[in-house]
A and B are shown apart, each in its own frame.
Chain A
């Protein structure tokens, strides 16, 4: 199954996120990730949604979403910069600490909080890079992860 990144511009009305997400699930499509925020104009928000399916599925979702009154436009992003942000707490022992810091530096991630038994790390990057980062840190014991989901912007 292919993944599609949809960029959906919506009017900043109450309940608009519910309208969009419930339509997608109602039509039987699965949302892989979701990211919402205001745009350059505060009357509009942009939703970046990753869905899985075939070409036909993706076009169905776009067409269905386009019918919502609050949706101003929907685009399937092909040539776009995709970024995701992650916060992660990793368990540390004094022996492990150096190893974790090495991986953190290698990924140009940041340690944002250090306690006696754990560290909080922050990274922004492509979803692939983030997956890799997580897998390398797994052996140290991951306590908690928060991922924002992809935000994406088309290239010029």
Chain B
């Protein structure tokens, strides 16, 4: 039937099973918003304070639910405000569809009001993007955008739609959602060779990345780890793909990974990388990375093979499919002594944190308490910096999609929007954004979104009055020149929360921690809540491997 372009857009979103979109209206999307008004009983819209917040919310929604996140913004500044959010999703392979309005076709290319070449701008940060110049092609373009976002290695896709395209009508016929493009099955010979390597390994090491989560391969991984009888480590993006209360889990690997994860690398003879891309934050110096071991890499993206680290054997394929096949072929292995040794190191080689008399609370105690009170079942979003590393180190993730963090791009200001998106997608879960005061100030405007739309998150700001991670580097490598990292802002968090209509609680002493967290968990059943937890500015993230240094030699203590 003949239908207006803007209605076609909404119909196509419904075809794709979209229940919520995040966005912000404006001139070029007036017609789209008119259709959203018309369809408001079928598709809900979360209005953020800023388009960037909407883009992070769509991303957080996608990470928490596994469904594609959708964000809508107007042309020009609306579109450019999405850029950081799209780049964040791109770096972490998160499925997202961004819809931007643009000026009408006749005004394109004329530097018209609020015109920007957003397909040009987002070319390097999208899997693909479109500008639709014919209403008759609108529906199929939207369907294709979702398909591309959700296929293979996932990622964001942008559709730029000029205003007249949303106003004109075209024939529309509802279609069923098409399945993702099929990933070719891994090569039989490659799988057999991988199985042989695994069967011959004496000291295997399983290293897992975000690919396990996006491929939904967590149960295959759990079975694989038992079969192979090996210790398991994870990248930042892989947090939650393996139950961290399982003694096999020896902690995160990388710049702020555990000593046990690093020590185990030294001695392993087979390093098995599953759904991961060997980020420089993980490998440190690639020349010395797992140099005594053979490396087996299984990943969906052939471009990751040999990009950062040269593996001895690669299997290109969907990690769920490949692990499923390996699990059928691999006989049960026994590496009891090797595994026990890693488990022992994981228990023993830990770091200690010290607060001060004035500010005695330490992040490990705070986050471990949160872990205990939520029984590891909360969804934890993070900002970027020390807060992010502590959240990764001290919460014990049991489930996939429970750690929501900007790994690749390292976007400060990501967490609050992402937490809201996660909460909208998973309303029955406790969602906590662990923030630092630096990141918090970047996008704190979104507190008003949480308040207005009653998105019941807990915003936990660990306030040390400094940009802690940068300060840590300045301490170690820049002669303690704390250039522009001592914030000491006069923000009154309680008043700020009140101003936005949100209750704010303060943690200053150790005995406050449990009480306040309990109160916040209770409060968050009905309203979003803000917590300020004050800590000393010289608590560092440890262990730490300086950039480009060998991963096996982390710094375990920094003298203050």
Contact = CB atoms under 8 A, between A and B. Distances in A.
B127 A63 contact: no
B306 A69 contact: no
Interface in A27-86: 56, 59-60, 63-64, 66-70
Contacts of A59: 306
B110 interface: no
A60 B303 contact: yes
Considering residues B301, B303, B306, which has the most beta carbons from chain A within 10 angstroms of its beta carbon? B303
A67 B148 CA distance: 11
B302 interface: yes
B217 to A, nearest CB: 21
Size range of the chain B interface in the assembly: 10 to 19
Contacts of A70: 128
B305 A19 contact: no
B119 A69 contact: no
Interface in B140-163: 148, 153
Interface string B40-80: 00000000000000000000000000000000000000000
A67 B124 CA distance: 12
Given A15-B119, A69-B148, A26 B303 contact: no
Interface string B295-320: 00000011101110000000000000
Interface residues of A, number: 17
A66 B301 CA distance: 10
A3 interface: no
B272 to A, nearest CB: 21
Contact of A60 (B119, B124, B307): B307
Contact of A18 (B123, B127, B153): B123
Contacts of A98: none
Contacts of B124: 22-23, 26
Given A19-B123, A69-B148, A63 B128 contact: no
Contact of A66 (B120, B131, B303, B307): B303
Nearest to B181: A69
A59 B306 CA distance: 9
A63 B148 contact: no
A11 to B, nearest CB: 11
Contacts of A66: 302-303
Nearest to A65: B303
Contacts of B119: 15
Given A69-B128, A69-B148, A63 B303 contact: yes
6 contacts: A15-B119, A60-B303, A63-B303, A66-B303, A68-B128, A70-B128
Interface of A: 14-15, 18-19, 22-23, 26, 56, 59-60, 63-64, 66-70
